Structure 1
Amino acid sequence: MKKIPSLLLGLTAIAASAQQAQQDSITQLDEIILLEDVVPKRAVGITASSTLGPSTFEKFNPIDIASAINQVSGVYILSGALNTNRITIRGVGARTLFGTDKLRLYFNGIPVTNGTGSSTIEAFDFENLGSMEVIKGPKGTSFGANMGGAILLDTRPAFENETRLTNSFTVGSYSMVKDNLTLQHSDEKLDLSFSYNHFKTDGYRQNNNFERDGFLLASEVNLGTKSSLGILVNYINYSAQIPSSINQSDFDEDPTRAAGNWLAAQGFEANKYSLIGLSYTQEFTENFKNTTSIFYTYLDHYEPRPFNILDEFTNGFGLRSQFQGGNLSTGEYSFGVELYKDEYHWGTFQNLFGDNNGNGSLQGARLSRNREFRDQLNLFGTFTLPLSNDLYAQAGLNLNSTHFDFRDLFNTGDTNTSAERDFDAILLPSLGLKYQLKNGWLYTNVSRGFSNPSLEETLTPDGVINPDIAQETGMNYEVGGKLTFLKPKLYFNFALYRMNINDLLVAQRTGEDQFIGRNAGETRHQGLELDAKYVISLCNQLQLSPYLSYTLSDHSFVDFVDEDNDYSGNPLTGVPKHRISSGFDLQHSNGLQLNLTHQFVDEIPLRDNNSLNSESFNVLHAKLAYQTSLSNHVSLGLNAGINNLFDTNYAQSVLINASSFGGAPPRYFYPGNGRNVYGGVRLGYLF
């Protein structure tokens, strides 16, 4: 670890000795204030949202998307590994055992959440993102009205009327190597961005290797003064070993250990993910336009687990069309349709790793073969009306219809479990007010949301469609605002909310790969979110920006009876009550920048009976970066960073209500990485 200070001092010396170069568009530092509307806002009308931009992403290791997302108050991503992420918004989705659900994920305006509501943030390269907008709760009528809300990802736009080639190369601990090569071009007729990325690491833990290759093509062609065509192609191919969760003893003694059965099976997952989308925008008049997207997704997934081998693929396709207009009785309106259909094929096989002479997984006889057709339709509309010069009102309505058709292709006769399930169409209204102040604005919103059951929740352990399962529904009540003070140097955002969720979906684990879903009662989600940033000019060349995000999550079971156990009144499992993200950015006009970031996560209830909690923790990261121009055409960027500065042993993700199998203690914990370092070089060429 003695090399760390030397590396940081070396970068500082380079910056101090460099002559201040003339700043052009290659190296200009774009100031992006956390949670301010400094990137194009996609949330319709007065709908409140939180936005992150490139300057926030670049505070962290280019593989650490979790730390960036956790800068947003009310949003928490539990990351068990690079390929095992669970995003929760205001506690919604915290009870999901694996993956992200109960929210909608969009990439360049295209929905990428599958037919049962699952989203995979790891399907996208962090370095290709230009912005991330988060709509918390169901108030985003135009984006599905899910209880958790929506996350809108967008790629980095090309600089206007420029052609540039950029290569970012990063190395770090655990034999980490990452390279991202990007070509961007912009002129009056065409915006084009193409990126290729390669990433490999041995990982912090046993059985933790990860390797990924992928490319991204994002293009927009102007067909005339009033129409354009967008093309989007995203392809990711990765293989990731799975160390899985570990028990308390292993977590305390040696967090680098993998779970014994996963290590013996050398468990892993291999994924090939493709997204192809076409978008057409037509401006009919100055105040009326339409954007229509058609898209296709494909996921090929192979995962040897200790208990079986899962082999699956999904074909998905859909359409999203949105009309926007103004001056309808002096207001603005938006309406449209979103249709998503996918065909999910999956089967399981015996895993004979115990008979494979220590060589890991070995595929045996087939255990199941299934197919599921899933359809989801969203009709949506909003109308925003100014009631005065300072007061605005917005009404929204979403109609959702969901259908599942399950086919058992393995069993025959009486043992065949094929079935269909239609959910009743559900209306989801939203009403909001916004009051414009001299130094900001205040808002209030009342909205209804829903969540579909996941695949595990729709089926019984015997693979039969559960006819009694219902969608979660709930009401969201929210007030908040965004304010600036001191002309402006202090940025302050806040939100108070309360969500009452009925028909709580619970996935009970009855075996290592067996779950049963049911509606277990009611939860109350209430909380406070605060975000503040202060910009201080220490001198003409030096700027300091401390910031703080605080989340209070007072979430609990209102009515939850599980067989003979009454958990009513207990804290909601999987949610920390207090969470803080803080830090400061120190920036010099010569291109030198220091970022120090801190995260505090309170203890997390691990069992519904409130008998066990994870330990709270603090983690600090530091990064030093320097940018300069070597000539009118060539730019150089250097960076070095340290994650987990004080080598804290902490759980970056947890598994709630973990069960014990074969007499082994339950495995609750996914350890975060120990202290680790990274450094990178970015070279840019402006044609």
Structure 2
Amino acid sequence: MNQLDEIILIEDITERNTTGITPYTSIGAQTFEKFNPVDVVSAINQIPGVYILSGALNTNRITIRGVGARTPFGTDKLRMYFNGIPVTNGTGSSTIEAFDMENLGTIEVIKGPKGTAFGTNLGGAMLLDTKNPETNETKLSSSFTLGSYQMLKENLSFQHSEDNFNLTFAYNHFETDGYRQNNRFDRDGFLLNTNFNLSDKNQLGILVNYIDYTAQIPSSINQTDFDEDPTRAAGNWLAAQGFEANKYVLAGLYHTYQFNQNLENTTSIFYTYLDHYEPRPFNILDEFTNGFGLRSQFKGNSGTFEYTFGGELYKDEYHWGTFRNLFRENNGNGSLRGERLSDNSEFRRQFNLFGTFTHTFTSRFSAQLGLNLNKINFNFQDLFNQGNANTSADRNFDAILLPSFGLQYLFTNGKLFANVSRGFSNPSLEETLTPDGVINPDIAQETGTNYELGGILNLFKQHLVLDWSLYHMDINNLLVAQRVGEDQFIGRNAGETRHQGLELSARSVLPLCKSVNVHPYFNYTFSDHSFVDFVDEDDDFSGNPLTGVPKHRISSGVDVRHTNGLQLNLTHQFVDEIPLTDANTLNSESFNVFNAKLGYNTQLSSNFSLGLNVGVNNVFNTNYAQSVLINAVGFGGAFPRYFYPGNDQNFYGGVKLGYLF
């Protein structure tokens, strides 16, 4: 059974975060170890229905079942949690790059709005958890990797566990010049995670995650540059030597109290801080965000009933301003800060109440009802134009009640499930502003209803496992980000989209001999997403495919494992062409990318362990777009820049040493 612990069956060996019978998908250490230790994107892209478009290490857009594909930059429309603490900010933005993959133990993904206790966002939820130390073990480990583009990565971790105390501390450093011009990335960070058993009923935990990175920005390029020399940076970003510098802090304190064997409560208080500085060709952005929150959840059971209920309050203060960028007057030395152009503050508050109730009618049949109540408030203050009262305003969205209902039937060789759930997505405050900076009260929340049917089937004594899902979701009041300037987008509700598709995952174990097992796997995503009703001024795009979503996607591979610790991982990704314009007049090209990794792990003594690995990414040196910018607009007579090139053929190798005290 443990040989099939990836994606389908990891729930059998890991304490899950999701509650009741909520369907979810999970990946863990064995998936992470198939890839370069900085390539969390490829690991997550193994999950059917989930696709990360990655323009750079610091530019990732996570889409789930097509939701979020129209977001110009970054990730929204989902909720992200780290060790149970929400890390999605007040405007709905999440950043996967704030976490070092080598510190992660599992990633659970709830696709669609059915994860009531983790928000009911249309995209779903992503739950990240750190590695847990082995019971009664003290271990020091160091992982060191070198690779192409002058890449260097080091992760040093210390883990200690005893009966009433666990501690993990990890430091990481990563640097690379990158594949493209103006593509340097330099990051340092540390993670502290500890918990104490204060008594038989009380447990207290502390979590601190800190990341400090500076990343140059090559930005997107046009078709000609993409075809002729994908290493080029966009000319204006290269001239400005554009970059972003981020300092990110997450600090949390959580307490678990066991009332009795049938009821427990976990309450966490947390603080987040982001200091972001980004010189762009059109201006320099200087911002910082302070976030505060409280989350409390009760979990219990009574006979055939299992239930959870609780609440989550999150408030943040976002302060941002822009300055003129005088890079053209700086003698080729890049960005130079000039006069102030804007000064703004936003105060954002989000409140969630949630509850799920699961009833087991028989040993095989269960039903679950979930309810989530969400209330959001924005307050915007223009400190630069204080004399104009119209540029400071409140926006209160009506409270929205979102139900979810699920059924599950277990049978000898698997299970079937069905789910109906309602979800929503909020516009960011910026999307509610007109070009004149005035709140538009007519902007509404996106809402949708998701219908899902799926199951897991174990065949041939669990040597073959099939996991499948069919879904259909209609989204109303579609939020469209319309570009009205080089650095200005406004939002509006423009119609309805239909998201429907099939997700299929197959895993197998084939023993070649007593000491060698072969693990082939195949993950397929079929996305039939389209505009049902979408009119943009004089253009009617109704019936067109949804922009930014490939119709077919495959991630497949073979893992060959020897009992002596030798392992070969061969991975493949196919991504179909992606519509780049709402008019469906231009598509990106489909592509196939192959990676390979060879690793060896051995125990040198009772105390020392050694791991070695070498790998090659993009084996056949394919020129492909790892991310795209939809509906790109050319400014000043320039060609539209749609493409973020993926890396060419590149190599890496690493060594991991462990010492068990």
Give the TM-score band, short-chain normalised: over 0.9
- Displacement of 1:466 after TM fit? 1.9
Find the counterpart in structure 2 of residue 217 from structure 1: 192
Distance 1:461 1:242 in 2: 26
Find the counterpart in structure 2 of residue 274 from structure 1: 249
- Find out whether 1:613 has 2:587 as its counterpart: yes
> Amino acid of the residue matched to residue 575 of structure 1?
V
Distance 1:30 1:192 in 2: 28
Find the counterpart in structure 2 of residue 11 from structure 1: none
- Displacement of 1:412 after TM fit? 2.8
Matching residue within 116, 125, 133 for 2:108:
133
- Find out whether 1:33 has 2:6 as its counterpart: yes
CA shift digits 1:631-650 (9 cap, x unpaired): 11000000000000000000
Find the counterpart in structure 2 of residue 395 from structure 1: 369
Query: Structure 1: any 5+ residue segments left out of the alignment?
Result: 1-28
> Amino acid of the residue matched to residue 309 of structure 1?
I
Distance 2:614 2:475 in 1: 45
CA shift digits 1:195-217 (9 cap, x unpaired): 00000000000000000000000
Find the counterpart in structure 1 of residue 612 from structure 2: 638
- Displacement of 1:514 after TM fit? 0.9
Matching residue within 48, 61, 74 for 2:49:
74
Distance 1:413 1:455 in 2: 21
Find the counterpart in structure 1 of residue 65 from structure 2: 90
Find the counterpart in structure 1 of residue 21 from structure 2: 46
- Answer yes or no: is the 8 Å Cα contact 2:112–2:123 preserved in 1: yes
Find the counterpart in structure 2 of residue 254 from structure 1: 229
> Amino acid of the residue matched to residue 34 of structure 1?
I
Matches within 5 A, 1:158-177: 158-177=133-152
- Find out whether 1:357 has 2:357 as its counterpart: no
> Amino acid of the residue matched to residue 137 of structure 1?
G
Find the counterpart in structure 2 of residue 332 from structure 1: 306
Matches within 5 A, 1:422-433: 422-433=396-407
Find the counterpart in structure 2 of residue 113 from structure 1: 88
> Amino acid of the residue matched to residue 338 of structure 2?
G
Does the residue aligned with 1:424 lie in a helix, a strand or coil?
Answer: coil
- Displacement of 1:654 after TM fit? 0.1
Does the residue aligned with 1:457 lie in a helix, a strand or coil?
Answer: helix
Find the counterpart in structure 2 of residue 100 from structure 1: 75
Does the residue aligned with 1:605 lie in a helix, a strand or coil?
Answer: coil
Does the residue aligned with 1:413 lie in a helix, a strand or coil?
Answer: coil
Find the counterpart in structure 1 of residue 288 from structure 2: 313
- Displacement of 1:189 after TM fit? 1.1
- Answer yes or no: is the 8 Å Cα contact 1:542–1:587 preserved in 2: yes
Does the residue aligned with 2:399 lie in a helix, a strand or coil?
Answer: strand
Which piece of structure 1 moves more, 454-463 or 657-666?
Answer: 454-463
Find the counterpart in structure 2 of residue 299 from structure 1: 274
- Find out whether 1:57 has 2:28 as its counterpart: no
- Answer yes or no: is the 8 Å Cα contact 2:414–2:455 preserved in 1: yes
Find the counterpart in structure 1 of residue 239 from structure 2: 264
Matching residue within 127, 132, 138 for 1:152:
127
- Displacement of 1:161 after TM fit? 0.4
Matching residue within 439, 450, 455 for 2:413:
439
Find the counterpart in structure 2 of residue 626 from structure 1: 600
Find the counterpart in structure 2 of residue 9 from structure 1: none
- Displacement of 1:416 after TM fit? 5.4
Distance 1:380 1:213 in 2: 37
Does the residue aligned with 1:284 lie in a helix, a strand or coil?
Answer: strand
Does the residue aligned with 2:74 lie in a helix, a strand or coil?
Answer: coil
CA shift digits 1:95-133 (9 cap, x unpaired): 000000000000000000000110000000011000000
Find the counterpart in structure 1 of residue 628 from structure 2: 654
TM-aligned CA distance change 1:203 to 1:659, over 3 Å: same
> Amino acid of the residue matched to residue 622 of structure 1?
A
Does the residue aligned with 1:262 lie in a helix, a strand or coil?
Answer: helix
- Answer yes or no: is the 8 Å Cα contact 2:6–2:26 preserved in 1: no
- Answer yes or no: is the 8 Å Cα contact 2:555–2:572 preserved in 1: yes
Does the residue aligned with 1:55 lie in a helix, a strand or coil?
Answer: helix
Matches within 5 A, 1:186-205: 186-205=161-180
- Answer yes or no: is the 8 Å Cα contact 2:304–2:361 preserved in 1: no
CA shift digits 1:474-531 (9 cap, x unpaired): 0000000111111111111000000000000000011110111000000000000000
> Amino acid of the residue matched to residue 32 of structure 1?
D
> Amino acid of the residue matched to residue 441 of structure 1?
K
Distance 2:8 2:191 in 1: 26
Distance 2:164 2:15 in 1: 21
- Answer yes or no: is the 8 Å Cα contact 2:378–2:429 preserved in 1: no
Find the counterpart in structure 1 of residue 448 from structure 2: 474
When normalised by structure 1's length, the TM-score is: 0.95
Distance 2:24 2:576 in 1: 25
Does the residue aligned with 1:204 lie in a helix, a strand or coil?
Answer: coil
CA shift digits 1:344-384 (9 cap, x unpaired): 00000000000000000000000000000000000000000
- Displacement of 1:415 after TM fit? 6.6
Does the residue aligned with 2:397 lie in a helix, a strand or coil?
Answer: strand
When normalised by structure 2's length, the TM-score is: 0.99
> Amino acid of the residue matched to residue 584 of structure 2?
N
Find the counterpart in structure 1 of residue 117 from structure 2: 142
> Amino acid of the residue matched to residue 95 of structure 1?
R
Matches within 5 A, 1:220-235: 220-235=195-210
> Amino acid of the residue matched to residue 402 of structure 2?
L
> Amino acid of the residue matched to residue 191 of structure 1?
N
Find the counterpart in structure 2 of residue 208 from structure 1: 183
> Amino acid of the residue matched to residue 287 of structure 1?
N
Distance 2:214 2:354 in 1: 38
- Answer yes or no: is the 8 Å Cα contact 1:39–1:53 preserved in 2: no
Distance 1:156 1:308 in 2: 41
Find the counterpart in structure 2 of residue 17 from structure 1: none
- Displacement of 1:461 after TM fit? 2.4
Distance 2:258 2:165 in 1: 18
Matching residue within 516, 519, 525 for 2:499:
525
CA shift digits 1:203-244 (9 cap, x unpaired): 000000000000000111111111101110000000000000
Distance 2:488 2:261 in 1: 56
Matches within 5 A, 1:446-461: 446-461=420-435
- Answer yes or no: is the 8 Å Cα contact 2:598–2:613 preserved in 1: yes
- Displacement of 1:31 after TM fit? 6.2
CA shift digits 1:314-354 (9 cap, x unpaired): 00010010001111x63111000011000000000000000
CA shift digits 1:274-307 (9 cap, x unpaired): 0000010000011000000000000000000000
- Displacement of 1:661 after TM fit? 0.0
Distance 2:101 2:33 in 1: 10
Distance 2:561 2:291 in 1: 45
> Amino acid of the residue matched to residue 313 of structure 1?
F
- Displacement of 1:262 after TM fit? 0.1
- Answer yes or no: is the 8 Å Cα contact 2:173–2:187 preserved in 1: yes
Find the counterpart in structure 2 of residue 14 from structure 1: none
TM-aligned CA distance change 1:52 to 1:480, over 3 Å: same
Distance 2:646 2:428 in 1: 27
Task: Provide the aligned length of Structure 1 versus Structure 2.
Answer: 658
Distance 1:459 1:637 in 2: 53
Distance 1:671 1:455 in 2: 31
Find the counterpart in structure 1 of residue 535 from structure 2: 561
CA shift digits 1:557-612 (9 cap, x unpaired): 00000011000000000000000000010000000000000000000000000000
Matching residue within 117, 123, 126 for 2:98:
123
Matched-pair identity in %: 72
- Answer yes or no: is the 8 Å Cα contact 2:3–2:509 preserved in 1: no
Find the counterpart in structure 2 of residue 463 from structure 1: 437
